[in-house]
Amino acid sequence: MKRLRGIGVQLVIFFIIAISIPTFMLAIDVVVTTKSTQRSNMQLTSEQTLQETKKGFETYLKTLSQPIDLLTRKNEVKHLEDQGTIDDNVKAIQDSLCASVKVTSGAKRAFFTTKTGYKITGWVEPNPANGKTTNKKTVVTNANDTSKVWYKNSIGLAARNNIYAYMSDPYKDSETGDTIFTVSQEIKYTNNENYGVVGMDIDFSEVTEYVQNIGLLNTGYVLLVDSNGQVIVDNERNTYCSGSVTSLGFWDKLNSYKGSENEYGINIFSEKINGENVEVIATKDEVTGWTLVGFVSDKETASVVSKITTATVRTGVISFIIGIIIAIIVTMTFTKEIKKINGVMKSVASGDLTQRIPIRKKNEFGTLENNFNEMVDNVSVLIKDVEEHSEVIIKSSENISEISKTTTETVNQVSEAIQSVSTGAVGQAESTSNATKEVENLAEKLHETKAYVSDINDMSVETQKLSNQGIEIVDNLIGKAQQSIDNSRLSKEVMKEMVESIEKINFISNAITEITEQTNLLSLNASIEAARAGESGRGFAVVADEIRKLAEQSQASTDEIKQIVNEISEKSQLVEKTLDETDDIITEQNMSIQDTKNLFNTISNSVNALKEGLDNITNLNTQMDDSRQSVIEKMEDVAAISTETAAAAEEVTASAEEVNATMHNLNQCTIELDEIAVALKESIDKFTLE
C-alpha cells in the first residue's frame, strides 16, 4: 500500500490521466470530424454526380428532340396535302423519317400522323447478308391517333429547356413487346391550327442502361421516377423502395419544395430507411417530369471512418505507451532526488545539523536542496542563539521575580491612594449635584425677572407711544395758539379800520345833519315864499313841505345812525379790550404748552433711557441664562467626571487587585520559566552543531 501511495506511483497515474484524456478527446473529435467531413464530401460528390447526370440526360433528350424538330420544319411535312403531289410529298417524308431513325440511338420508328387520317411511318431493318440496313415505309390514309396520350399532350405544348417535343412515359410496344417511349411534336397550319404530329418511338432500354450505369461513390445508385412517384428505372441494389418512392418521406418534401435545393435544382434529404441513415439526392427533369433519385447510405463512409478510428486508436495507444515510459523515467528521476533529500532530512530530524545535501543539479531540485541547506544553516544559528538566550532567560526570570515582589508592594500603596481619591470623587459629585440644583433655581428666578422686564419693556414702549402722541398734540396746540394770535392781531386791525370807518360815518352823519338843517331852512323859506305867492305858489309849497319832511326823516335817520355808530364804537372798544386780554391769555397758554412739550420731551427721553436700560437688562438676563446653561453643563460634566473618577478609582482598585494576582502568577510563571529554560538547555544539548 505504501508503494501505491508513493509520489512516484502518483506521478505515473497523473501522467496516464493527463495523456489519456486528451488522447481520448482527440480520438472522439477526429471520428466526429471525419464523419461530418465524409458526410459533407459524400453529399457534395453525389450532388455533383447527379448534377452531371442531369446535364447528360438533358443533352440526351435534346438529341432525341432535334430530329423531330427538324422534321416539323420540312416543307413537305407542313404542306403534305396542299402543295405539290401527295405521292412526292409522302416519298420525301418517308426518306426523312428513315434518316431520322438512323441518326437517333435507340430509335424504333419515326412517324407523321395527321388529324385528316394520314399516317406515314419509316424505320430501318438490318440486312445480315451484307451488314447494311434497309429502309422500311408504310402509309395509312385512315389512321386516327388523335386520342392517344402523346398526340393530345403535344398539342399547344410550350418549350421547356428549349425543347418543344413531348416525352411520354414508357409503355409496352404493341408490335414488338419492348418497352418504349414516344417523342412527339405538333405541326400547325399557317393559321396556327393543329394539322398533325411528328413522332419517334425510342427503345426505353437506352434510358434504363444510362440510369443504371450512374454510380454515386462506391455503393450509391440512382432511380428514375415518374411524376407520380412510380419507379420507371430500378436498380438491382435498391432495397429502400419497391416500385414506388411515395412511401419515403423525401417525396412529399420534394413536391412541396421543402428540400435544400441548390442553384442547379438539386435537393438533398437525410432520411432513415430500414434502420440506415441515407442521404437522398433528387432532381427533377423539366421536360419529361421524371425525377432522378440517388441513394447513398452512411455505410459508404463507415470503412473510411473505421480506418481513421483504427489509426487514431493505434496512435493513441502508442502515445499512451510512450507517455507511460516518459512518466516512469521522470518519476524515477524525481524519486531519486526526493530520496536523497529525505535521507538528509531524517539525519537533521534526529538532531544532526552537520548534514548537508550535495547539489549537482541546477533545476528546481537544485534550488530546493540549496534552500534546505540554507535552512539547516539558519536553524543551527538559531539553536545556538537559543542556547545563549536560554541562559539569559534564567537570569532574567530571577530579576523578574524580584521586580514582581516590589511591584506588588507598590500596587498595594496605589490601591490605598486610589481608594481615597474615589471617596473624594463621590463627595465632589454630591456637591456638584447640589450646586447644579442651586443654579437651576437661579435660572428660574432669571426667567421670572426676564418676564417682568419684558412687561416693563412693553409698558415703556406704550408710554413712548403716548409721549409721542402728547408731543404731537402739544405741537398742534402751539399751532392753534399761533393761529389764534394771528387772528387776534387781524381782528385788532379790523377793529381799527372799523373805528376809522365809524369816525368817517360820524363825519358824514354830521354833514348830513347840517345839510338837513339847511334843507329845513330852505323848505321853510320856500313855504314862506309859496304862501306869499298864493295860488300860484301852492305847488311849490307842497314840494317844499315834502322836502321838509324828507329833511326831517333824514335827520331822524342820521340820529339813529349816530346812535348805532356810537354803540358799535363802544362794543369795538370792548372787543379791542377783550382781544388784548386774549393775547395775554394766549401768551400765557403758549408758555404752558411749551412747558408741557418740554415735559413730554423729558418723559420721552426718560422712557428711551428706561428702554435702553431694560434692553441691557434683557441682554444681561440672556447672557446669564446662557452662562447658566454652560455652568449647568460644566457642573454636570464635573459630576460625570467625578462619577467616572470614582468608577475609575474602583476599576483601578480592581485592576490593582488583578495586578497583585498577575504578579503572583508572574512569580509562578518565572518559576516555570526557569524550569523551561533548564529543559530547553537540555534539549539543545541533544543537537550536534559544528
Output the average pLDDT for the chain: 78
Burial class (CB in 10 A: 0-12, 13-18, 19+), 130: exposed
Burial class (CB in 10 A: 0-12, 13-18, 19+), 304: middle
* Strands 194-203 and 107-114, sheet pairing: antiparallel
Please report which confidence band the pLDDT of residue 689 belongs to, taking 50, 70 and 90 as the band edges.
low
Residue ranges and CATH numbers for the domains of the chain are: 378-683 (1.10.287.950)
> The C-alpha cell of 552 is what?
326831517
pLDDT at 584 exceeding the cut of 70: yes
Element (H, E) at 122: strand 119-127
Please report which confidence band the pLDDT of residue 574 belongs to, taking 50, 70 and 90 as the band edges.
confident
532-562 residue pLDDT tens: 777 766 676 777 777 877 777 777 877 777 7
55-80 residue pLDDT tens: 888 888 899 899 999 998 888 888 88
Name which of 336-340, 374-378, 406-410, 470-474 the model is least confident about.
Answer: 406-410
Contacts of 133 (CB under 8 A, 6+ apart): 102, 124, 125, 126, 127
The whole-number pLDDT of residue 559 equals 79
Please report which confidence band the pLDDT of residue 454 belongs to, taking 50, 70 and 90 as the band edges.
confident
How far apart are the C-alpha atoms of 232 and 288, rounded to whole Å?
A: 12
Considering only CA atoms, give the Rg of the chain: 79
The whole-number pLDDT of residue 147 equals 92
156-201 residue pLDDT tens: 899 888 899 999 999 999 888 999 999 999 998 777 888 899 999 9
The whole-number pLDDT of residue 120 equals 94
pLDDT at 3 exceeding the cut of 60: no
pLDDT at 427 exceeding the cut of 70: no
pLDDT at 328 exceeding the cut of 50: yes
The whole-number pLDDT of residue 182 equals 96
635-669 residue pLDDT tens: 667 667 767 766 766 776 676 677 667 767 766 77
The whole-number pLDDT of residue 500 equals 75
Percent of the chain scoring above 90 in pLDDT: 16
Q: Which residue has the higher pLDDT, 482 or 136?
A: 136
225-272 residue pLDDT tens: 999 999 999 999 888 898 899 999 889 888 876 445 555 578 888 888
Percent of the chain scoring above 70 in pLDDT: 76
Question: What are the helix and strand counts (H, E) for the chain?
Answer: 10, 13
The whole-number pLDDT of residue 34 equals 65
The whole-number pLDDT of residue 102 equals 92
pLDDT at 281 exceeding the cut of 80: yes
How far apart are the C-alpha atoms of 21 and 330, rounded to whole Å?
A: 20
Write a three-state SS string for 249-315: HHHHHHHCCCCCCCCCCCEEEEEEECCEEEEEEEEECCCCCCEEEEEEECHHHHHHHHHHHHHHHHH
- 364-384 average pLDDT score: 75
DSSP 67-115: HHHHHHH-HHHHTTTTSS-HHHHHHHHHHHHHHHHHHSTTEEEEEEEET
How far apart are the C-alpha atoms of 617 and 88, rounded to whole Å?
A: 158
* Cα 374 off chain centre by: 60
Please report which confidence band the pLDDT of residue 507 belongs to, taking 50, 70 and 90 as the band edges.
confident
CA distances from 521 to 368, 464, 547 (A): 183, 83, 10
How far apart are the C-alpha atoms of 392 and 273, rounded to whole Å?
A: 97
Please report which confidence band the pLDDT of residue 1 belongs to, taking 50, 70 and 90 as the band edges.
very low
How far apart are the C-alpha atoms of 254 and 227, rounded to whole Å?
A: 11
pLDDT at 121 exceeding the cut of 90: yes
606-627 residue pLDDT tens: 777 767 776 777 777 677 667 6
Torsion of CA 73, 114, 287, 123, to 10 degrees: -80
> The C-alpha cell of 614 is what?
431694560
pLDDT at 113 exceeding the cut of 80: yes
The whole-number pLDDT of residue 112 equals 95
Element (H, E) at 537: none
Torsion of CA 372, 377, 380, 384, to 10 degrees: -150
Please report which confidence band the pLDDT of residue 687 belongs to, taking 50, 70 and 90 as the band edges.
low
Name the most confidently modeled range: 291-295, 311-315, 475-479.
291-295
CA angle 77, 78, 82 (to 5 degrees): 105
| DSSP code at position 248 | S
DSSP 634-659: HHHHHHHHHHHHHHHHHHHHHHHHHH
Name which of 205-219, 358-372, 653-667 the model is least confident about.
Answer: 653-667
Please report which confidence band the pLDDT of residue 372 belongs to, taking 50, 70 and 90 as the band edges.
confident
The whole-number pLDDT of residue 465 equals 79
Phi-psi region of 552 (alpha: psi -120 to 50; beta: other; left: phi over 0): alpha
| DSSP code at position 359 | P
The whole-number pLDDT of residue 35 equals 61
- β-pair partners for 221: 215, 295
* Strands 119-127 and 132-140, sheet pairing: antiparallel
Q: Which residue has the cell 454636570?
A: 636
How far apart are the C-alpha atoms of 215 and 295, rounded to whole Å?
A: 10
Cα atoms in the Cβ-side hemisphere of radius 13 Å centred on 442 = 16
